Amino acid sequence: MSQPMQNSKTSGLSIASLILSLIGFNIVGAILGHVALGQIKKNGEAGSGMAIAGIIIGWLSFAGGLLFFFAFAGALAL
Protein backbone atom coordinates (compact mmCIF):
# COMPACT_ATOMS: atom_id res chain seq x y z
CA MET A 1 0.00 0.00 0.00
CA SER A 2 1.12 3.52 -0.62
CA GLN A 3 1.79 5.92 2.18
CA PRO A 4 -0.55 8.90 2.44
CA MET A 5 1.10 12.25 1.77
CA GLN A 6 1.77 14.43 4.73
CA ASN A 7 -0.15 17.66 4.76
CA SER A 8 2.31 20.31 5.79
CA LYS A 9 0.87 23.53 7.04
CA THR A 10 1.68 26.66 5.04
CA SER A 11 3.44 29.33 7.03
CA GLY A 12 1.15 32.25 7.81
CA LEU A 13 4.14 34.57 7.83
CA SER A 14 5.02 33.64 4.24
CA ILE A 15 1.47 34.44 3.14
CA ALA A 16 1.56 37.75 5.02
CA SER A 17 4.96 38.56 3.52
CA LEU A 18 3.73 38.11 -0.03
CA ILE A 19 0.51 40.04 0.53
CA LEU A 20 2.20 42.95 2.30
CA SER A 21 4.87 43.19 -0.39
CA LEU A 22 2.21 43.27 -3.10
CA ILE A 23 0.06 45.96 -1.49
CA GLY A 24 2.91 48.35 -0.80
CA PHE A 25 4.28 47.60 2.65
CA ASN A 26 7.62 46.74 1.07
CA ILE A 27 10.06 46.66 3.97
CA VAL A 28 7.62 44.96 6.31
CA GLY A 29 6.84 42.32 3.68
CA ALA A 30 10.53 41.68 2.97
CA ILE A 31 11.43 41.37 6.64
CA LEU A 32 8.48 39.06 7.28
CA GLY A 33 9.70 36.94 4.39
CA HIS A 34 13.10 36.56 6.03
CA VAL A 35 11.48 35.64 9.34
CA ALA A 36 9.15 33.19 7.55
CA LEU A 37 12.08 31.42 5.87
CA GLY A 38 13.70 30.89 9.27
CA GLN A 39 10.45 29.57 10.70
CA ILE A 40 9.93 27.28 7.69
CA LYS A 41 13.41 25.78 8.07
CA LYS A 42 12.92 25.31 11.80
CA ASN A 43 9.38 23.87 11.74
CA GLY A 44 9.35 22.18 8.33
CA GLU A 45 6.33 24.14 7.15
CA ALA A 46 5.44 24.83 3.53
CA GLY A 47 5.46 28.24 1.88
CA SER A 48 9.11 28.93 1.16
CA GLY A 49 8.23 30.03 -2.39
CA MET A 50 5.82 32.65 -1.10
CA ALA A 51 8.36 33.86 1.44
CA ILE A 52 11.04 34.20 -1.24
CA ALA A 53 8.58 36.00 -3.54
CA GLY A 54 7.69 38.37 -0.69
CA ILE A 55 11.37 39.09 -0.07
CA ILE A 56 12.14 39.73 -3.75
CA ILE A 57 9.05 41.83 -4.43
CA GLY A 58 9.47 43.77 -1.18
CA TRP A 59 13.12 44.72 -1.66
CA LEU A 60 12.81 45.41 -5.40
CA SER A 61 9.78 47.64 -4.96
CA PHE A 62 11.50 49.43 -2.08
CA ALA A 63 14.56 50.04 -4.26
CA GLY A 64 12.33 51.20 -7.13
CA GLY A 65 10.55 53.60 -4.80
CA LEU A 66 13.86 55.03 -3.62
CA LEU A 67 15.05 55.44 -7.20
CA PHE A 68 11.82 57.20 -8.14
CA PHE A 69 12.06 59.46 -5.08
CA PHE A 70 15.62 60.54 -5.78
CA ALA A 71 14.94 61.01 -9.51
CA PHE A 72 11.90 63.16 -8.70
CA ALA A 73 13.81 65.15 -6.06
CA GLY A 74 16.66 65.66 -8.52
CA ALA A 75 14.23 66.88 -11.18
CA LEU A 76 12.74 69.39 -8.76
CA ALA A 77 16.18 70.70 -7.83
CA LEU A 78 16.85 71.75 -11.44
Return phi, psi of residue 16, to 5°.
-65, -40
Predicted pLDDT of residue 5 = 52
Give CA–CA dist 55/33, Å, rounded.
Answer: 5
Please determine, for residue 77, whether its predicted confidence score (pLDDT) is greater than 60: yes
Domain extents in the chain:
12-77
pLDDT digits (tens, 9 = 90+) for 38-58: 999 999 999 999 999 999 999
Number of alpha carbons in the 13 Å side-chain half-sphere of residue 19: 7
Q: How confident is the model at residue 6 (pLDDT cuts 50, 70, 90)?
A: low
Predicted confidence at residue 50, as pLDDT, reads 96
Question: According to the model, what pLDDT value does residue 8 have?
Answer: 80
